[in-house]
């Protein structure tokens, strides 16, 4: 399937390479003999592989200036940069060391704590300094292509990067918390069979700025930036009152929309974009910046074991694991990464996750698929496995959220409840997650950049016309 992310956005197209199977960054090759090898593409177009990607997928690597990528007008986007890096750029632009550090501290506060989008709004910086900043730097945000609102209050944004790649983020409001579901990649390489994002090809990793930019954009949309010091103190007090994900009760925010929690559960596998995800979350957790506690951030992985320990040590956020099956046969089918990192190895890595405890449980995500992974025996085996590895665990049972062409159906409500009861009786919390945002395709497993869907025949026709025009 293809979501229409075609020639104008393809790195192959920009490089002038037009062949079926290579032009679309989403679809697999139509004919294997027509597929262009990674080496050939790299040689012809100067392209480089995406780190951690298992497919022969390539993206253009932009030129760097002083270690960062400038925009077309030569200005450098400061979003995604830590305070120290901003100071280095200011010094490189002509400020002395002392002035660079002072201005970096001021600008960093305005960027990440106050959320301003124009240098003119930085009122404690000299008026003569603000144009100097604006000439050399920019405060970026991902472009909003479309914003959708569900009948249950869920919001979904279709976003676009500066190089015209689309991705999505979702905000889920509750009475006691508001959770932002953040994407880490454009597309995904894992091909989980029940997940709509898995039908996309991986286009590229999101940058630090594009990841943290989602959080900032959500605060923009929800009008939740503090306007002054008093606002900052009030919001900090509210955050202290609001419960964690595992709490039965939490403080109530009257608007029902305060952004209190982040889950790295959007498009992509976060641990295949480890460095950028880590650096973005450090900005989110920085007390001088977005100031969200690490206990309010959860990173979800399908089981990229080599990076799990690093996640605990270098990021320190809560861990969620997309388990979804208790046998090798079934998990190999629905979560193909299991063929490389098996269930037993995965659960041992969970047991070894730094600082895991009864107070800091690992969440296991388990999508309920009719007649595939939802039997009483499956429930009992799940309990056995978690107890065998002595895992402080919570299991989120997720009713399958359908999408066009999905190969599975959702388990019946009665079957889901029976499964949950068995796990509960085994001494493990197993709540059934209430689907949110189904009417706007924002529910778990439904994310896919689908601003415009085209049939395979229509795609082929467009590509043929494009190639004919270039050759003629």
The annotation places the binding site for [4Fe-4S] cluster at 188, 192, 195
Long-range pairs, 74-77, Cβ under 8 A, ≥24: 75/135, 75/136, 75/137, 75/138, 76/136, 76/137, 76/138, 77/137, 77/138, 77/139, 77/140, 77/209
C-alpha to C-alpha distance for 123 and 120, rounded to whole angstroms? 7
269: which 2 tokens? 């596998």
Residue (of 171, 169, 164) closest to 268 by Cα position: 169
Q: Which neighbouring-strand residues pair with 170?
A: 156, 181
Tokens of 197: 């994002």
Q: Which residues contact 265 (CB under 8 A, 6 or more apart)?
A: 181, 182, 298, 300, 320, 444
Residue 369 CA to residue 330 CA, distance in Å, equals: 11
Residue in 24, 88, 168, 181 annotated catalytic: 168
For the chain, state the CA radius of gyration: 23
Give the whole-angstrom CA distance, residue 298 versus residue 329.
28
| Structural element, H or E, at residue 159 | strand 155-160
Half-sphere exposure of 145 (CA within 13 A, CB side): 15
Q: For residue 134, with 0-12 CB atoms within 10 Å meaning exposed, 13-18 middle and 19 or more buried, which class applies?
A: middle
3-class secondary structure per residue, 44-94: HHCEEECCCCCCCCEEECCCCECCECECCCCCEECCCCCHHHHHHHHHHCC
The H-or-E segment that residue 167 falls in is strand 166-173
Kindly list the distances between the CA atom of residue 175 and the CA atoms of 178, 242, 254, 435, in Å, as whole numbers in the listed order: 8, 10, 8, 16
444 catalytic residue (yes or no):
yes
Distance of CA 408 to the CA centre of its chain: 24
Instruction: Extract the tokens encoding 246.
Output: 């595992």
CA-nearest of 447, 58, 53, 48 to 272 is 53
| E strand segments, 182-308 | 185-186, 204-205, 261-264, 297-301
Q: Which residues are annotated as a binding site for S-adenosyl-L-methionine?
A: 268-269, 300, 322-324, 401
Distance CA 459, CA 465 (A): 10
The whole-angstrom separation of Cα 117 and Cα 115 is: 7
Q: Which residues are annotated as a binding site?
A: 188, 192, 195, 268-269, 300, 322-324, 401
Is 33 a residue of the active site?
Answer: no
**Which residues are annotated as catalytic?**
168, 444
């Amino acid at each position: 399937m293809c979501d229409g992310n075609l020639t104008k956005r393809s790195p192959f197209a920009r490089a002038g390479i037009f062949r079926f199977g290579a032009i679309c960054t989403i679809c697999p090759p139509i004919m294997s003999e027509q597929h262009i090898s990674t080496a050939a593409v790299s040689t012809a177009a100067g392209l480089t592989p995406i780190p951690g990607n298992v497919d022969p997928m390539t993206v253009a690597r932009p030129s760097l200036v002083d270690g960062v990528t400038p925009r077309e007008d030569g200005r450098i986007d400061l979003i995604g940069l830590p305070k120290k890096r901003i100071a280095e750029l200011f010094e490189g632009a002509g400020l002395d060391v002392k002035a660079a550090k002072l201005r970096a501290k001021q600008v960093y506060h305005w960027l990440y704590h106050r959320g301003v989008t124009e240098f003119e709004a930085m009122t404690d910086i000299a008026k003569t300094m603000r144009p100097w900043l604006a000439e050399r730097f920019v405060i970026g945000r991902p472009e909003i292509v479309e914003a959708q609102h569900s009948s249950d209050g869920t919001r979904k944004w279709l976003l676009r990067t500066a190089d015209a790649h689309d991705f999505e983020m979702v905000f889920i409001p509750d009475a006691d918390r508001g959770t932002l579901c953040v994407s880490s990649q454009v597309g995904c390489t894992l091909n989980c069979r029940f997940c709509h994002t898995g039908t996309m090809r991986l286009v590229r990793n999101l940058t630090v700025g594009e990841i943290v930019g989602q959080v900032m954009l959500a605060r923009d949309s929800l009008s939740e930036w503090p306007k002054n010091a008093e606002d900052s103190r009030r919001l900090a007090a509210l955050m202290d009152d609001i419960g964690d994900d595992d709490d039965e009760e939490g403080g109530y925010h009257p608007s029902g929309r305060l952004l209190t929690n982040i889950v790295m559960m959007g498009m992509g596998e976060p641990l295949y974009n480890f460095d950028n995800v880590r650096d973005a979350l450090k900005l989110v957790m920085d007390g001088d910046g977005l100031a969200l506690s690490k206990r309010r951030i959860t990173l979800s992985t399908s089981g990229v074991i080599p990076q799990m320990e690093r996640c605990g040590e270098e990021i320190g956020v809560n861990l969620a694991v997309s388990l979804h099956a208790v046998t090798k046969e079934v998990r190999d089918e629905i979560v193909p990464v299991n063929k490389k990192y098996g269930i037993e190895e995965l659960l041992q890595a969970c047991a070894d996750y730094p600082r895991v405890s009864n107070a800091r449980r690992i969440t296991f995500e388990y999508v309920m698929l009719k007649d595939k992974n939802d039997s009483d025996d499956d429930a009992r085996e799940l309990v056995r496995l978690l107890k065998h590895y002595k895992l402080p665990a919570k299991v989120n049972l997720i009713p399958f959220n359908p999408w066009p062409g999905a190969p599975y159906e959702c388990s019946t409500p009665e079957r889901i409840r029976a499964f949950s009861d068995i796990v509960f009786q085994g001494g493990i919390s197993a709540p059934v997650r209430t689907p949110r945002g189904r009417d706007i395709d924002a529910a778990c497993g439904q994310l896919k950049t689908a601003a415009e869907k085209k049939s395979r025949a229509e795609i082929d026709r467009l590509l043929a016309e494009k190639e004919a025009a270039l050759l003629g």
